[in-house]
């Protein structure tokens, strides 16, 4: 089982993606986690990627595409791909690679959310040291953290510097909501694929977490 998920930063993509991943026992392949691993390890690739990420810009395709495809190729259990593709070119390159290798794509999930709401959620979210996909957001009552501790596991929380930088957030959303060459263009590439054999699922990101979960689980059959 292989799943591709789209959603702007702040849409709850990590939370809903984890549900889909757990349902099928998939490897969660998240481009941001790949970058953070290299950044934390102080690798040359990580330092180059950090320059772009901190400015809210895309890491160049000649770094990102081969790295993601290599990780997909290593998966033994099937995968949930999160945070990639982020442009029309990346979407096309990914599809070409899957077709070339005979890898089936089973579901494409899109979480839809207005831009301003997404921005507000980003600035309120907090990351758990044990699992960054544990939902914690100081601006959303149902997932508000327990003080400075994760509401799920009690781990220490922190906020990413770029989550508090409105200019960087705007740049990231400029990329995501761009329907010509950006992430939404890539999303539409899969949504409008002629003769696609995968199922395309649209989720309303303004609904509550449980409502989205219930609908998503009903679609993943």
> Strand order in 199-204's β-sheet?
27-30, 79-82, 2-6, 107-112, 199-204
13 is in an annotated binding site: yes
86 is in an annotated binding site: yes
197 is in an annotated binding site: no
58 is in an annotated binding site: yes
59 is in an annotated binding site: yes
Instruction: Enter the tokens of residue 66.
Output: 């081969």
43 is in an annotated binding site: no
220 is in an annotated binding site: no
Q: For the chain, how many residues are written?
A: 221
125 is in an annotated binding site: yes
57 is in an annotated binding site: yes
85 is in an annotated binding site: yes
Residue 165 CB coordination number (10 Å): 17
14 is in an annotated binding site: yes
Inter-helix orientation angle 61-74/44-54, to 10°:
120
207 is in an annotated binding site: yes
Rounded Cα distance between 116 and 173, Å, is 10
In terms of DSSP bridges, do strands 127-128 and 157-158 run parallel, antiparallel, or are they unpaired?
antiparallel
Cβ-contact 20, 80 below 8 angstroms: yes
Tell me the C-alpha to C-alpha distance, in Å, between residue 45 and each of 36, 72, 215. 10, 19, 39
31 is in an annotated binding site: yes
219 is in an annotated binding site: no
Rounded Cα distance between 137 and 118, Å, is 12
Which residues belong to the annotated binding site for AMP? 31, 36, 57-59, 83-86, 90, 160, 172
Which residues belong to the annotated binding site for ATP? 10-15, 125, 207
Which residues belong to the annotated binding site? 10-15, 31, 36, 57-59, 83-86, 90, 125, 160, 172, 207
């Amino acid at each position: 089982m292989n799943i591709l998920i789209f959603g702007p930063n702040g849409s709850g993509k990590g939370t809903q993606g984890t549900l889909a991943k757990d349902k099928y026992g998939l490897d969660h392949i998240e481009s941001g986690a790949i970058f953070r691993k290299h950044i934390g390890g102080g690798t040359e690739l990580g330092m180059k990627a950090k320059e772009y990420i901190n400015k809210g810009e895309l890491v160049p395709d000649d770094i990102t595409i081969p790295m993601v495809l290599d990780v997909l190729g290593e998966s033994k259990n099937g995968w949930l791909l999160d945070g990639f593709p982020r442009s029309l070119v990346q979407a096309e390159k990914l599809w070409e690679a899957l077709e070339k290798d005979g890898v089936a794509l089973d579901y494409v999930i899109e979480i839809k959310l207005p831009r301003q709401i997404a921005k507000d959620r980003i600035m309120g979210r907090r990351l758990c040291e044990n699992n960054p996909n544990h939902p914690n957001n100081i601006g959303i009552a149902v997932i508000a953290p327990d003080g400075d501790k994760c509401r799920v596991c009690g781990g220490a929380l922190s906020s990413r510097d770029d989550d508090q930088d409105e200019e960087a957030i705007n740049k990231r959303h400029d990329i995501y909501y761009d329907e010509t060459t950006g992430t939404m263009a890539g999303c539409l590439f899969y949504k409008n694929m002629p003769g696609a054999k995968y199922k395309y699922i649209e989720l309303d990101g303004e609904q509550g977490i449980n409502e989205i979960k219930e609908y998503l689980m009903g679609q993943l059959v």
